[in-house]
Amino acid sequence: MQTVLADRYVLEHEIARGAVGVVWRGLDRVTGETVAVKVLRPELRGEAEIFESFRAEAGILRTIDHPGVVGVKDFIVTDTVCAVVLEFIEGLDLREHLRLHGPLPAAEAALRCANAAETLDAIHRAGYRHSDVKPGNLMLAGPEGLKFVDFGIARAAASRTAPSHGTPEYIAPEVASGDSASTGVDNYALGLVLYEALTAHSAYRGGSITDVVERHLTRIPVKPAAVDAELWRVVEMLLALDPAARGDLNAVAAELRRLAPGLSRQATAPIEPELRERDATATFTYEPVTPHAPEIDRDALGALMTAEAAEERPARPRRGLLVLGIACALVLAAAVVSVAVVFSGTDTPNGDDMADPSEDAATSAPAEDETTGEPTEPATEDSPTPEAPSATPQGPETDSDTPGPDSDDMSESSDDGGNSTEGTSDDDSPGSDLIGSPMPGN
């Protein structure tokens, strides 16, 4: 017996199943059109957040009138069922197509992803971010189009909260690390869709959710030999760690359309993904309080600084020699005072008992005993012995004992970005708590 919703939509057979809903092929008995009916799982009807997200999907789809977004026809809520009736799109989604037929030709992949970039830009301008861009949510439409069919976890573009569930292998690094989300998460996922269209493999799939999350943070795909270098630059830009560095979607679409005529129209065999360590410093634009000086070739910079140091040395004495000279002068002065005391006939006390030469001269000579006329031992107090001048100056210009100002070794950072700790994750990554489990069938 067939199920009929709202006395109008006949559910013919199931065509897809996810964590939240089941999609049926249906018939609109009023218009005679084939429709897709997405029905909320009955056991989730009592989950307030999921129910609201499901209901919000229909509202978002009504708001976005774009050929790259599936059209919404009706929304049904009764005591027993919650469903959204959608435009039916004949054919396969991108993931199923890649599974059955392998990678798209590079020219076709560029055109279809250009179409997707323009659609995402329209979605963002309407005030939303999709938040779950992936091949399973994109239907092939015509010779060069892709159509978004699932907005189940879409969010307002101004919202900084991450979705409560999704597909780990397509989440952006900032979501994986527990940071706030932005429309840049859609740009990142689009880069992964383009990669998968060219290779027929997901870049980050495999292992536990924590493993997948960590790879987003620390690794990036290596360019396959068969992929055009200019096209690969678009992929790498979209996969940047910094959301602000992922480009404007309209500009991305324009670049993909520019490249398409020169790209291959022959598909390659599937390409296994290879990952490398991210170069974190290459993707972020820092804005220090003091702006960076204009970039100079490192070798030229080293030669310039060495030449400047050589020119300055005759004009300024070394501080180490200056301090040594002062110390010698003090010693010589003390010797002169000692000689003067000897030749004046005054008995000098034992060196261990000598008072600090910096003290008043009236206290430097020992007093005589009034009865015997013999010099008496000076009274001693527990006072610190004066320290010798330090051989290494500790002024504000000195960072360490070595090298000195005249050293030929220039102090530089040893971190070239290859060993960045940016985004380091462990098994307790907060991102794994945000994204939940992968959605079945995705």
Provide the annotated active-site residues.
132
Q: Give dist(CA 254, CA 258) in Å, integer.
A: 6
Q: Give dist(CA 292, CA 247) in Å, integer.
A: 23
Strands in 317-413 per DSSP E: none
Query: 378 pairs with which residues across the strands?
Result: none
Tell me if residue 21 falls in helix, strand or coil. Answer: strand
Residue bearing tokens 């960045």: 420
Q: Give dist(CA 99, CA 94) in Å, integer.
A: 9
Q: Tally Cβ neighbours within 10 Å of residue 381.
A: 5
Long-range CB contact pairs, 27-36, < 8 A, 24+: 28/73, 28/85, 29/4, 33/88, 34/88, 35/9, 35/73, 35/85, 35/86, 35/87, 35/88, 36/70, 36/85, 36/86, 36/87, 36/88, 36/89, 36/149
Cβ atoms 88, 139 nearer than 8 A: no
Pairing of strands 82-87, 128-129: unpaired
- For 215, the token pair is 């790879």
- For 206, the token pair is 């495999």
The 8-class DSSP code of residue 351 comes to G
- Give buried/exposed letters for 24-45 (b at 16+ CB in 10 A, else e): bbbbbeeeeeebbbbbbbeebb
